[in-house]
């Protein structure tokens, strides 16, 4: 069997053919009970099908895109080779029962290697900058009801693990304990690990305004699937939306918005993440293709919360348990805003959690918020304002940060050395061919749009000792222009 392919580009519409039931239908129904078999949707080009109004045609196109993606998802689960956007996903089942999936970028090196063991252990090896060396390794295990995930991280990509983190607690409890350790080199050259942080971490990560208080929210228990609720189902009930009038179910309007936002994730957001941060895209595809996910609406009475999702979805998903992604209908402002919320929550399902500020509030400038905004229709966070270029850089993988733009900063220093290709590194010259270091220099430092130092653009001499002249004089044209403007992909 040849390798199946999937594109999330809007320029190549997905077309699938569904099995028609006894009569020609205007559309295959997507409303069904959880224990009913999934129903396919017909091709829009089915001969003899009546003309549909634009809204119905839009819905049909969305359902076709979802069906095509989940057909590919089944292929990934079953171990077939799949071309998915820029990834080639390969799977191998070992003789001891292990199954390994490799998410290769362009068919080359793997950005993600995921292995599931017969005892349920799940191990991820991530190569963020795609150089063939793993820089983040995590392993999730379970002993009784206790879930544990241990992770080692090479933060500066130098080939050595700088930090390690442990999340541990009841698999379906309210909190997990996070322990962070840093690799320390003492003044006497001795290496050891030291605990730098220990705190309780909410198992359900929530998208919220910085001033929102949990006390203002009511969390309703996940709704039942029976009357007055129904189930919108995709991928053979692996992806479902609970819709109806029962407590905790989503309204018809919200159910439609979830479908549209999910279509946006598959059609646009995944492509954005593939280009900017392949690690996040690969982990998101892995989650969507292997976990059982249920979308519900259980937060009420608090406009500050957009939704919530578990950060231990890896273990829940690997055991076949349903992962609830919950939304607050009161906080939905628009489809653009909701698309950002869905990208944000799905990044939690993919394994990413929030960074914390010193006051223990969520950092709205962490990877989850930044990628959610940038690849979720470039929405503006009311808490921090429009930081579109910064969001792009914070979301990007190390090798892609400057694709979002750059900022050149001047640094004036005292006695300095210049790397100008001349004799030695001396920036001042005496008429008798003596050289000296300048008494002051200007260095041009390259930063990404998030303010992180990337490298030096160059240096020049400002002043020299008496009797010496500058070999590399500073002018007003030394630095390139800054380019940390709103990314063109975000529109005006």
Encode the chain (492 residues) as per-residue pLDDT tens digits: 566 676 665 333 332 223 222 222 222 223 333 333 333 333 333 344 445 456 678 888 888 888 889 888 888 888 888 988 889 999 998 899 999 999 999 889 999 999 999 998 999 999 999 999 999 999 999 999 999 999 999 999 999 999 999 999 998 888 999 999 999 887 777 888 999 999 999 888 877 654 444 445 566 666 766 778 888 888 888 899 999 888 788 999 999 999 999 999 999 999 999 999 999 999 999 999 889 999 998 876 665 667 888 888 888 887 778 898 989 887 888 899 899 999 999 999 999 998 888 877 788 899 999 999 999 999 888 788 889 999 999 999 999 999 999 998 888 877 666 554 444 456 788 888 777 778 888 878 899 999 999 888 777 778 888 888 877 677 655 567 788 988 877 866
Predicted TM-score (pTM) of the model is 0.82
| Count of all residues that appear for the chain in the document | 492
């Amino acid at each position: 069997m040849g390798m199946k392919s999937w594109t999330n580009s809007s320029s190549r519409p997905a077309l699938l053919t569904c099995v028609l039931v006894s009569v020609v239908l205007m559309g295959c129904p997507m409303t069904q009970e959880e224990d009913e078999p999934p129903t396919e949707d017909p091709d829009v080009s089915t001969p003899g099908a009546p003309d549909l109004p634009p809204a119905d045609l839009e819905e049909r196109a969305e359902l076709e895109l979802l069906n095509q993606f989940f057909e590919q998802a089944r292929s990934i689960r079953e171990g077939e080779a799949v071309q998915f956007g820029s990834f080639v996903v390969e799977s191998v089942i070992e003789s001891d029962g292990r199954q390994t999936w490799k998410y290769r970028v362009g068919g080359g090196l793997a950005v993600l290697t995921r292995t599931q063991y017969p005892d349920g252990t799940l191990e991820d090896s991530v190569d963020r900058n795609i150089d063939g060396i793993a820089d983040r390794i995590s392993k999730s295990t379970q002993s009784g009801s206790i879930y544990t995930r241990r992770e080692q991280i090479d933060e500066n990509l130098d080939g050595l693990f700088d930090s390690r983190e442990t999340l541990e607690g009841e698999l379906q409890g309210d909190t997990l304990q996070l322990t962070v350790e840093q690799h320390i080199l003492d003044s006497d050259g001795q290496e050891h690990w030291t605990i730098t942080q220990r705190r309780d971490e909410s198992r359900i990560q929530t998208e919220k305004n910085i001033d929102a208080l949990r006390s203002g929210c009511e969390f309703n228990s996940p709704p039942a699937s029976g009357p007055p609720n129904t189930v919108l189902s995709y991928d053979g009930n692996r992806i479902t939306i609970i819709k109806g009038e029962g407590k905790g179910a989503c309204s018809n309007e919200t159910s439609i918005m979830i479908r549209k936002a999910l279509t946006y994730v598959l059609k646009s957001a995944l492509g954005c993440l593939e280009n900017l941060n392949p690690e996040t895209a690969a982990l998101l595809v892995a989650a969507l293709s292997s976990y059982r996910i249920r979308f519900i609406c259980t937060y009420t009475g608090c406009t500050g919360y957009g939704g919530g999702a578990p950060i231990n979805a890896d273990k829940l998903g690997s055991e076949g348990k349903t992962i609830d992604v919950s939304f607050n209908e009161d906080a939905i402002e628009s489809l653009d805003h909701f698309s950002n919320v869905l990208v944000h929550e799905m990044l939690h399902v993919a394994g990413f959690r929030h960074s914390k500020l010193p006051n223990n509030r969520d950092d709205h400038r962490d990877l989850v918020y930044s990628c959610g905004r940038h690849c979720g229709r470039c929405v503006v966070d009311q808490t921090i304002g429009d930081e579109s270029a910064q969001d792009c850089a914070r979301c990007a993988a190390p090798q892609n940060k400057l694709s979002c733009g750059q900022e050149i900063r001047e640094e004036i220093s005292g006695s300095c050395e210049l790397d100008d290709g001349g004799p030695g590194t001396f920036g001042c010259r005496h008429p008798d061919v003596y050289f000296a270091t300048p008494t002051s220099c200007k260095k041009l430092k390259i930063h990404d749009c998030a303010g992180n130092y990337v490298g030096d653009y160059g240096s020049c001499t400002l002043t020299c000792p008496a009797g010496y002249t500058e070999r590399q004089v500073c002018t007003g044209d030394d630095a390139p222009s800054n380019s940390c403007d709103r990314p063109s992909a975000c529109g005006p």
